[in-house]
Amino acid sequence: MNYMSKEIKKEQESQEEVYQSILGDEMPLDDEPDSVENDAENTPAKPKPSMKKVWTTVGISAASVAIVGALTFAGISIFNKNRPQDAASSPNYTLDTKLVACYYHDVVQMFVDTYGAEELLNTYGMDVSKPLKNQVNKFDENSTWFDMIMDQVQGTIQQQLFMYEAANAAGFELPEEDQKMIDKALAEADVASYGNGVTKADIQKVLEIQAMSTSYYNHLSETFKPSDEEIQEYYEANTKNFMNCGIAGFSINYNSGEEGDTEDMTKEQAKKLVDELMDSANPKQFEKKVAEILTEYEDYDQEQLDANLPSIYNEGFTYAAGNELAEWAFGGAKKNDTFMIEDTNIYYIYIMTSEPVQDETTTVDVRHILFMEQEDNKKAAEDALAEWEKGEKTENSFAELANQYSEDPGSNTNGGLYEGVYPGQMVPTFNDWCFDKSRKPGDTGLVESDYGVHVMYFVSESGPMWQTQISSMLSQEAYDTWYAETSPLYPVTFNEEAMSSIDG
C-alpha cells in the first residue's frame, strides 16, 4: 500500500536558464543528470554543480562568462612551444589554441574554486597539480578529466562565439561598466599562470568575447519580456496551468491470483476497502479510514501513523494535460469529492481537500553580492556593505558593486539581480531573509550560506507566482524562436586535433 500515488507527485517544470543560479537547485558532483530541474517540493539543492555539466545551458555558459576574477588564477605553468593552430571558428571569428587554453584553465579553476583542490583529489581522484590528460575520469573510464573539461569548453565556446557574432551583427556596443570590469580583470591577470604561450592580448580577447556575449544575452532577455497584456491574455487561455488544488490520495494493491503473486489481499477485499474510502464525507474521514487500513493490514503503531499519514496530502497539486487525475481535479470536481483510478493489481483513491485556485504565491526581486573565495568572506562582505553605505545608498549603486565584487556567476553581470524569486527556490538562509514578513524595499543585510557570505538588497515584491511563471515561459519561447532562426547564420566548427593539442 502506498500513501501518495505517483500521479499526485507531479514535478513543477522549470524554465531553462541561460545562467544557472548557484543559489538554486543543483545536483551533487556524484550525480550525472543531463539537465537540472527545480522541484517546488524538494529541499533547496546542494551548493555544488554536477561534474558532468557545470553551468552549461542553451545560450551562454555561466562557467565562462564571469568576468571579474574568472581568468585570474594561479594554475599549472605548462608552456606550449608549438605554433598556435586555429581551433574554433565561426563565419567571422577564429579562436586559436591559445584562446581556447584560456577557456580550458578557466573551467579547471571553476572546479577548484567550487570544490577545493583537496576534495577534488581525495573524493574524485582529480589532481589539478598534474596534467589531466593522464587521469581517468571517475564517471567514464573510457575518457580522461581533460576530455570532460574540454567537452564543457567546446560547449561554452560554441554558445559564446555564436552570441558574439549575433551581437556584432546587430551593432551592439559593450556597456561602459563591462569594459571597466575587463580592464580590472586584465590588470590583475597572472599571464604566466596560463601556460600554452598565452599572452595578455589573448586574455583580453577572451574577456571581450565573454563580456559581449553575456551583455547581449542580457539585452535580449529584456527585449523578450512580455507585456502585462500578453501575460494576462496567455493566462486567460491557459488558466488551469496556473492553478493548484489540494488532494489526499491512497493506493491499495491486491493479489490477482496469478502465479508468483505474493500479496495476500484479494481483489474483492481491496474493492471493499476502496468503496469505504470512496464513501468518505470529508478528508478527516478519509484519513481515519486510511489509518484503520494501515493498522489492520500493515500493523502500524501510532508512531508510524503519525509519521506517515501526512504523506497522503498534497496541497499544491497542479494541472497536467492528459493526466487522468488532473483532468478530474481541474474539470469541475468539488471539495470532498472522491475519485478512483484502477490499474493493474492496484486501486488509487483520492479525495479533494481544496478546490482549484489561482496561485497567488508572492515572488520577490532581490540583489546580492556573493563572496565565496576571499580569505575572509565575512569581512569582505562587511567592507562591501560599508562601501555602499558611504555612497549614494541606491539600488543602482548596489548593482554597480555587485558587478564589481560578486563571485556569483549567475548574477555578477546584471547587478546581482534575481527576479521573480519564489519561496523555496533559494538556499534556506537566502530564502528566509527574502521572505521575512518584515522585509521592505531598500533593506540590506548579510546572509551566510554554504556558498559564502551574501550582501543582500531587497528590491520589492514582484507579483504573484503565476505572473512570474508566464513571464518566464513567454520570454523563453521568444528566445528559443530567435535562437532557432539565428543560430544557422553563425555555425561554429572545431578542429578537434588542435583542441586536443592544448596542454592540460
Residue 51 has what pLDDT?
A: 31
H helical segments located in 189-254: 200-223, 228-237
Q: Mean pLDDT highest for which of 180-189, 216-225, 480-489?
A: 480-489
Q: Report pTM.
A: 0.65
Q: What is the average per-residue pLDDT within 400-415?
A: 88
Under the banding of pLDDT at 50, 70 and 90, the label for residue 7 is: very low
- As a whole-number percent, the residues of the chain with pLDDT over 70 amount to 82
In the predicted model, what is the mean pLDDT of residues 302-309? 96
Mean pLDDT for 74-99 is 74
Locate the DSSP E strands across 167-326: 243-253, 313-318
Residue 116, pLDDT score: 84
Pairing of strands 86-89, 493-494: antiparallel
Q: Backbone dihedral region of 257: left (phi > 0), alpha (psi from -120 to 50 degrees) or beta?
A: left
Residue 235 clears pLDDT 60, i.e. is over it: yes
What's the Cα-to-Cα distance from 439 to each of 190, 436, 443, 457, rounded to whole Å? 42, 5, 7, 10
253-285: pLDDT as tens digits: 998 765 544 457 899 999 999 999 999 999 999
Parallel, antiparallel, or unpaired for β 313-318 and 338-343? Answer: unpaired
| pLDDT classification of 79: cutoffs 50, 70, 90 | very low
pLDDT at 469 (0 to 100) = 86
DSSP strands (E only) in 113-214: 136-137, 140-144
Residue 432 is inside which H or E element, if any? helix 428-434
Reduced 3-state DSSP string for 439-473: CCCCCEEEEEECCEEEEEEEEEEEEEHHHHHHHHH
Please, where are the H alpha helices in 170-197?
176-188
Which range has the worst mean pLDDT, 18-22, 175-179, 191-195?
A: 18-22
User: For 58-86, what is the mean pLDDT?
Assistant: 40
pLDDT score, position 257:
63
Is residue 114 very low, low, confident or very high in pLDDT (cuts 50, 70, 90)?
confident
Question: In this structure, are residues 108 and 54 in contact, taking their beta carbons and an 8 Å threshold?
Answer: no
CB-based burial label for 43 (10 Å; 0-12, 13-18, 19+): exposed
What pLDDT score does 264 carry? 73
Can you name the residues that pair with 358 across neighbouring β-strands?
243
Q: Return the C-alpha cell found at 95.
A: 579562436
Cell of 294: 494501515
Question: pLDDT per residue over 11-68, tens digit each?
Answer: 333 333 332 322 333 333 444 434 333 333 333 333 333 333 222 222 333 333 332 3
What pLDDT does residue 36 have?
32
Question: Cell for 37?
Answer: 530541474
Kindly report, residue by residue over 450-476, the tens digit of the pLDDT.
999 999 999 999 889 889 889 989 999
pLDDT digits (tens, 9 = 90+) for 159-169: 999 999 999 99
- Give the integer Cα–Cα distance in Å for 472 and 301: 47
Per-residue confidence (pLDDT) for residue 258, from 0 to 100:
57
Residues written for the chain: 504
> For the segment 351-371, what is each residue's pLDDT rounded down to a tens digit?
999 999 988 889 999 999 999
